[in-house]
Chains A and B, each alone.
Chain A
Amino acid sequence: MVKFLKPGKAVIVLQGRFAGRKAVIVRCFDEGTRDRPYGHCLVAGILKYPKKVIRKDSAKKTAKKSRVKAFLKMVNYSHIMPTRYTLDVDLKDVVTLDVLQSRDKKVAACKETKARFEERFKTGKNRWFFTKLRF
C-alpha cells in the first residue's frame, strides 16, 4: 500500500504518439481535475533518445550524439506503466501547469527540460532512463 506514482518516478508511456517512450512524473493529480475527472499526471519524457557514443568519436560528434529531445504531456494513469526506477531531476520550477496553455511557453519549457536531461545524461547516471526501450 505504498504510494508509488510520485514525482520522480520513471514511467513508460503506453498510448498515443509517445507510446514506448520513457518519461518521468513531474506532477500527479490523483483525484483528477474538473477538465480531467480521472487520475492523471504531468510527465516529461524523452522524444529522441541520445545516440550511442563510442570511444573513437570526436568531441564534436559526441556532442551531437548526446542530444536529447524532450516532450511534456498530461497522461492518464492507465496509459502509463510505472517502473521501479526513479529519476530525481528537479523539473518542478520549469514544468508548471500553465506551461501547457500556450505553445511558446511549452516550447520554452521543453527546451529547458532538454537541457536538464542532457546534463543528467552526460554525468552517466540513470543510464536505464536514457536507453531506448526496444520493442
Chain B
Amino acid sequence: MLQRLYNQHSETLAFPFAATAEAGGFCLAHPLLSPPPRRRRRSLVTGATMVVAKKTKKTQESINNRLALVMKSGKYTLGYKTVLRSLRNNKGKLVLIANNCPPLRKSEIEYYAMLAKVGVHHFNGNNVDLGTACGKYFRVCCLSIIDPGDSDIIKSMPGDQ
C-alpha cells in the first residue's frame, strides 16, 4: 500500500513522506576507480556556488572504525523490520542506511526517525559495504544502534540527514 502512495505522490509533497532530503551528494567510493574530480556547480538563479565535495576517505574510515567498535561492544539490530521495531519502542539511538536502499524504504525509515527524534546516517556505501563494515558476511541495508557501548558514534555523527 505504501508503494502505491509513493508512486502517486512522489512528485507532490501532499503525502506524509516528504521527499528525501539530499544527503549532500556523496559519491560512491569504489576502491578500484579513481575518485571523480571535485566539482563546483554554480546555480544559475541565485549565483551562489555549491561545492559537491566527495566524502573524504578519513571520515569513511572513522565511521567504519566506530561501527566496528559498536559491533564488538554495543547492541545493535540489522535489517529493516528490526530497525522499525527499535524505532517504535524507542530503543534505537542511531540509524544507518546504505546508499542503495530503495527510496521508499529510505523515506519510511527517515520518517520514523523524524518522529522518534533519532539521527539517521546515510552510509557512504551500498548494502554489501555496510555488511562488510559490520563484520558480517551478508548484506545489510539498514541497521539501528541500540547501545553504542564504548563507541562515540552517536555523539560524533548525530545524523547528517
Contacts and interface: CB of A to CB of B under 8 A. Distances in A.
Interface of A: 1-5, 12, 14-15, 19-20, 30, 39, 77-78, 81-85, 133-135
A14 B16 contact: no
B92 A135 contact: no
Contacts of B85: 39, 78
B2 to A, nearest CB: 7
B interface SS class: helix
10 contacts: A2-B115, A4-B116, A14-B1, A20-B1, A39-B89, A78-B81, A78-B84, A81-B2, A81-B16, A84-B114
B1 A15 contact: yes
Interface string B78-97: 00010011001111110000
B88 A84 contact: no
A2 B84 contact: no
Nearest to A1: B90
Given A14-B2, A78-B84, A135-B9, 8 more contacts: A1-B90, A2-B115, A19-B1, A20-B1, A39-B89, A77-B88, A78-B81, A84-B114
B26 interface: no
B16 A1 contact: no
Contact of B89 (A30, A82, A134): A30
A135 B116 contact: no
Contacts, number: 47
A84 B115 contact: yes
Interface in B1-29: 1-2, 4-5, 8-9, 16
B13 to A, nearest CB: 13
A1 B89 contact: no
What 5 pairs across the A-B complex have the smallest Cβ distances?
Answer: A4-B115, A135-B5, A83-B16, A2-B117, A135-B4
A1 B114 CA distance: 10
Contacts of A19: 1
B142 interface: no
Nearest to B86: A1
A109 B12 CA distance: 37
Nearest to B81: A78
Contacts of A134: 8
